Amino acid sequence: MYYFDHSATTPLHPDVVELMHNIQKYKFGNPSSTHKKGREAKLIIENSRNQIAHAIGVSSKNIIFTSGGTESNNQVLWSMLGNKKSHILSNYIEHPAVLNVLQYLKNYGIDHDLVSVDNNGLISIQELKSKIKKDTALISVMLANNEIGTIQPVEEIVKIAHGKGILVHSDAVQCLGKMHINVDKIGADFFSLSAHKFYGPKGVGILYFKNRKLLSSFIIGGSQEKNLRAGTEDTASIAGMGLAAEIAVKNLSQKVKTLVKIEKEFLNRLKAIYPKFIINGHKERKLPGVLSVSFPDFRSDFLMAKLDRENIYVSNGAACGSGDIKPSKILKALSLKDEINISTLRFSFGVTNTIDEIQYLINVLNKILNQR
């Protein structure tokens, strides 16, 4: 298997698998139970909270566990129903877990505007400033994009927003383990993460909040997670996420170097077999290991099917259905022509990928791209 789709999801780290297995088997108590079995589970959860707080530079008091990036984003946006102001500012290349929620919130009186990005996917600060209204409660801007890897100037946006009494949310789901994160320094009021993007389990995520009063419960029931997220916690998944976060930030510079090296090797070798390729997104302000590459003259669904047959797994941003292919909205926002847009693959490398695997990918691509 040749897996180059780490932005979609990552395999579980072996230590995470082992830890989760042991917890499932032996630490099955309900963390809300006051007896020893419950206290034991509760301790595991709090240990995970500390690991995550340490990994992203915040206090553990300001973190709750959710079911993932989608829920974390939803909770922040839906919480704006409780805000006196009723306008949200975001941008065209956010994940559907932001954009579709904003669309939905219109039915509840929350309006929004979207800011453009340039050809590299960087948000236009000038346009952002011009679209701020008296009624703007929140600006939601992702830390890095899932399709092109472009890193947004969230720290700068926070300064602008806070100067006008506006809250900032950042979806950082793609970032842990690929760049240094210090949420306190960035200054965002809300921050979303998801374990399955950093070698942790699926279905579990994190929501950081600066001020508890500005967040509402989205899932109602018991008093778990400081009354902010009801439901019996999944102890094993939460513990797995804590360990995965700890591992993700350990030797981070080395991990980044590895990803940059893999990416460079891939591009150098690709240049030798198919110099016509185009890279999308910012060349420097980007996540290491995430590459959006267009192959003019080839449809991405055709390329993906060919690669799949050779056990190579990548992705495309375009939506396919009944033989039809719709251009990626993100690449469209970068003003990429439709014919190039639908010829684009995303390669997202992981720290366990090797140069030999890259060479195999190149050999297969050579066969596909140069056979006609």
* 184-191 CB contacts, 8 Å cutoff, 24+ apart: 184/57, 184/58, 185/57, 185/155, 186/143, 186/154, 186/155, 186/158, 187/155, 187/158, 187/159, 187/162, 188/154, 188/158, 189/214, 190/76, 190/215, 191/56
Q: Does 70 bind ligand PLP (CB under 6 A)?
A: yes
> 98 to 157, contacts with ligand PLP by CB under 6 A?
142, 146
> 78 to 107, contacts with ligand PLP by CB under 6 A?
95, 97
Smallest CA-to-CA distance from 121 within 260, 347, 280, 315 is with 280
Per-residue DSSP letters for 207-237? EEES-GGG---SS-SS-HHHHTS-S---HHH
Q: Does 173 bind ligand PLP (CB under 6 A)?
A: yes
What span, in angstroms and rounded, lies between the C-alpha atoms of 331 and 293?
Answer: 11
Stretch that binds ligand PLP, among 19-27, 126-134, 167-175, 222-230 (CB under 6 A): 167-175
What span, in angstroms and rounded, lies between the C-alpha atoms of 93 and 55?
Answer: 26
Stretch that binds ligand PLP, among 66-74, 231-239, 282-290, 331-339 (CB under 6 A): 66-74
Which CB sits closer to ligand PLP, 152 or 194?
194
Q: Does 234 bind ligand PLP (CB under 6 A)?
A: no
Stretch that binds ligand PLP, among 68-76, 113-121, 222-230, 237-245 (CB under 6 A): 68-76
Catalytic residue (one of 267, 320, 340, 364): 320
The secondary element (H helix, E strand) that includes residue 140 is: strand 136-140
Q: Does 205 bind ligand PLP (CB under 6 A)?
A: yes
Reply yes or no on whether 320 is catalytic: yes
Size of the site for ligand PLP (CB under 6 A): 12
Q: Does 194 bind ligand PLP (CB under 6 A)?
A: yes
**Cα 114 to the center of its chain, rounded Å:** 19
Which CB sits closer to ligand PLP, 171 or 189?
171
Which CB sits closer to ligand PLP, 201 or 358?
201
Which residues form the catalytic set? Answer: 320
Interface positions with ligand PLP (CB under 6 A): 68-70, 95, 97, 142, 146, 171, 173-174, 194, 205
